[in-house]
Every structure is written in structure tokens, then in C-alpha cells.
């Protein structure tokens, strides 16, 4: 069984990932990682797409249809499935993830840090300001990893998305945040790779030049997926992958049964 780290760089366009993230793309060029094209589900909004990435179900099925829908998910997520099999789960993420899988509504004091083996996310550090620094969020995640040695760790920074909303995706600020994320990953990935983790790096949605997302355009829907691990044949895969396939892929990596409604999809280059 693999131990999996899933990184969701909120608001990262696919083309920005390819042009700005030099270290991650170096891993692809040097045959140490795989690159896939992913098309996000609709609506291309954050809370609905967290549910897509973590339950493998679309909004029309799970009912998380907009960002203002504040309630626990009624679907089995990767966290639920892992816990049922005795695996350890952790997350360093935006508070909407806590509201989907642990408690809703979010209490800024009681829910900022959570440690409860009976919860779907057993150990979590959650932030509630979009401007929370990515450097701090990745440090939160690494603390969780070292303390709890999880089988599944979700890391979800918001810096790229925040810059996109403030300045638009065709801005130096947006590109700078992608570069910053790549620099942080260049510091952490080598150690995680040496320890044998399977690592997925993707996004929930992209961003248009006006600083918005939620629509149907490629700027808002086209996101990257980089994967590092022995279960993948390194390379660049041109086939467009449905975002609904990501959650069942993680389940397969963790040797978990797929939940009802999850898509069975044959990823190219996967050796499972």
C-alpha cells in the first residue's frame, strides 16, 4: 500500500503550472514524475470541486452546488474510506474542507486545530483567511506529517487563488504565487520522494483574466495533475482526464474500495 500526499494548489491554471513551476516540470523532464491534463467539473467553484476531488461525485449527485452551501457532505470521502480501513488521515487545508468532512459550521477557535481519531479527518490544521501564507500552510502540513505519520495527507494552500482574485490570472502577482508554490515544493518534495510517498499535485479550478472562476471556459476548467511515485510510468500524457477520476485513483493507491458513485477510470501509465 502507498502512503499518499495530495496537494491541491487552489486556483492554479494548467498553463500557468506548465510555464511557472520549474522544479515540478523538471521532475517530469527528468522522468521522475508524470504529467496529466485534467478538466474540472462544473461549476468551476471551490467548495463543489473539493467535494469532487475528495468524493469523486459531481454536484448534481452530491448537492454541493455552490460555495455558499455550508453543510457536511453526505457522501463517503477518501477520508471516510481510509478511516474505515484503519488508515490514518490528516489535512492542512482551508476551513471549507473541515466543514465538508468534520464539522459545520466552522468555529474559528474550536476547529482551528483538530485531533480526533473518530473523525474522518483525524488530525487537521485549518485556516480561515484566504491570505494565509502558503509557507505557513506547508509548514502546518509537514508538522502533521512528522507527528502523525499519516497514510493520507491533504495539503491545500490558497495563495495562488487569492492572488488571482485580487489581480487576475494574467498578472505578475498570480504568476509569482505559482513560482512561490514551486519553490516550497522544491524544498519538500525531495525528502518526501526519498521516504517513498506517492505525491499528487493538482488544482480544483483555474482562473480567468478578470480574476474569476465558476464558468465553462478553459481558463477556469483546465488544471494540471502531476504524480510522483512508483505506481506511475513517468511521462507526459495528452489524454484529458475527467476530474471525477482523481478520487478513485487515490482510493486505488491506498488499496481502498471505491465508494458508491465513484468513476472507474483507466489512467494511462498507472502500474497498480
Q: What angle do CA 114, 40, 79 make, to 5 degrees?
A: 25
**Domains of the chain, start order:** 4-253 (3.40.720.10)
Asked whether the predicted pLDDT for residue 272 surpasses 90, the reply is: no
Asked whether the predicted pLDDT for residue 1 surpasses 80, the reply is: no
Asked whether the predicted pLDDT for residue 16 surpasses 80, the reply is: yes
Check residue 271 and give its pLDDT.
86
For the chain, helix (H) and strand (E) counts, in that order, are: 11, 9
Instruction: Give the predicted TM-score (pTM) of the model.
Output: 0.98
pLDDT digits (tens, 9 = 90+) for 71-98: 999 999 999 999 999 999 999 999 999 9
pLDDT digits (tens, 9 = 90+) for 49-68: 999 999 999 999 999 999 99
Percent over 90 (pLDDT), the chain: 99
Instruction: Take residue 264 and report the three cell numbers written for it.
Output: 472507474
pLDDT digits (tens, 9 = 90+) for 164-182: 999 999 999 999 999 999 9
pLDDT digits (tens, 9 = 90+) for 187-241: 999 999 999 999 999 999 999 999 999 999 999 999 999 999 999 999 999 999 9
Say how far apart CA 41 and CA 58 lie, in whole Å: 7
> Average pLDDT, whole number, for the chain?
97
pLDDT digits (tens, 9 = 90+) for 148-167: 999 999 999 999 999 999 99
Band of the pLDDT at 121, cuts 50, 70, 90? Answer: very high
Beta carbons of 44 and 220 less than 8 angstroms apart: yes
Give the residue ranges of DSSP H helices in the chain. 14-20, 22-29, 46-55, 59-62, 78-84, 95-101, 134-148, 159-167, 172-194, 218-221, 246-253
Check residue 180 and give its pLDDT.
98
Amino acid at each position: 500500500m502507498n502512503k499518499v500526499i495530495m496537494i491541491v494548489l487552489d486556483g492554479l491554471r494548467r498553463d500557468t503550472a506548465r510555464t511557472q513551476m520549474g522544479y515540478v516540470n523538471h521532475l517530469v523532464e527528468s522522468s521522475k514524475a508524470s504529467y496529466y491534463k485534467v478538466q474540472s467539473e462544473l461549476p468551476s467553484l471551490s467548495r463543489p470541486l473539493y467535494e469532487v476531488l475528495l468524493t469523486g461525485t459531481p454536484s448534481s449527485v452530491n448537492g454541493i452546488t455552490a460555495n455558499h452551501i455550508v453543510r457536511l457532505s453526505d457522501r463517503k470521502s477518501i477520508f471516510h474510506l481510509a478511516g474505515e480501513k484503519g488508515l490514518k488521515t490528516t489535512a492542512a487545508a482551508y476551513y471549507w474542507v473541515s466543514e465538508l468532512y468534520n464539522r459545520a459550521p466552522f468555529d474559528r477557535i474550536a476547529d482551528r486545530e483538530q485531533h480526533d481519531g473518530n473523525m474522518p479527518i483525524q488530525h487537521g490544521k485549518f485556516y480561515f483567511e484566504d491570505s494565509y501564507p502558503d509557507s505557513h500552510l506547508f509548514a502546518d502540513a509537514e508538522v502533521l506529517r512528522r507527528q502523525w505519520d499519516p497514510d493520507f495527507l491533504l495539503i491545500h494552500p490558497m495563495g495562488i487563488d487569492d492572488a488571482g482574485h485580487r489581480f487576475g490570472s494574467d498578472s505578475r502577482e498570480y504568476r509569482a504565487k505559482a513560482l512561490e508554490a514551486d519553490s516550497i515544493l522544491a524544498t519538500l518534495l525531495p525528502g518526501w520522494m526519498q521516504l517513498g510517498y506517492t505525491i499528487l499535485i493538482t488544482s480544483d479550478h483555474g482562473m480567468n483574466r478578470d480574476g474569476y472562476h465558476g464558468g465553462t471556459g478553459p481558463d477556469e476548467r483546465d488544471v494540471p495533475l502531476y504524480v510522483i511515485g512508483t505506481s506511475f510510468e513517468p511521462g507526459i500524457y495528452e489524454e484529458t482526464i475527467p476530474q471525477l477520476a482523481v478520487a478513485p485513483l487515490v482510493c486505488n493507491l491506498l488499496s481502498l474500495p471505491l465508494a458508491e458513485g465513484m468513476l472507474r477510470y483507466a489512467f494511462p501509465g498507472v502500474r497498480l
